Amino acid sequence: MPVEPGIVDTNVLVYALDADATQHASSRALLEAGRAASVTLYVTSQIICEFYSVVTNPRRVANPCSPAAALAAISSLLGFLRVLPVPAHTVEELIRLVRRRPVTGGDIFDLQILATMNVNGIPRIYTFNTADFASFPEIVPLTP
């Protein structure tokens, strides 16, 4: 799979950690490709927080990580994933996106990722949750 610069969504990071997930191999392949110096993959501080939240939550994963194990996983990821900045004008972009696609509840967090992508000029997101980003920047759907 050719890997272009893009954001790695939370679900990809979670599946890369879960060897029992059907999406594990695809997630690992993307992240392994991201280790190459010629490939640039990104996350946001929000994605890192979401990852920590999911992998330490026994209601979300079968084998939750301890806080120390989750932090170790994050440290490993940050060895090759770049964290995008969230400039102040990201809020204006978020408001523009909400006007374009009004959302409620937790769906606002996907739009926050898109707003951060847009202000940083990142055109794609690698995700298994393509419906969350429908009609927005190029989505690279991963398949198990």
Q: What is the reported pLDDT for 53?
A: 98
The architecture of the domain spanning 6-85+122-141 is 3-Layer(aba) Sandwich (3.40)
pLDDT grade for 144, boundaries at 50, 70 and 90:
low
Q: Cα separation of 140 and 123, whole Å?
A: 10
Looking at residue 56, the DSSP 8-state letter turns out to be T
In the chain, % of residues over pLDDT 70: 94
Whole-model pTM: value is 0.92
Q: What is the reported pLDDT for 137?
A: 63
Q: Within the chain, what is the greatest distance between any pair of CA atoms?
A: 40
User: Are 97 and 114 within 8 A, CB to CB?
Assistant: yes
- pLDDT tens digit sequence for 78-106: 999 999 999 999 999 999 999 998 999 99
User: Are 80 and 35 within 8 A, CB to CB?
Assistant: yes
Torsions phi, psi for 27 (to 5 deg): -65, -45
User: Are 138 and 126 within 8 A, CB to CB?
Assistant: no
Q: What is the reported pLDDT for 116?
A: 96
Answer positive or negative: Cα dihedral of 100, 104, 105, 107: negative
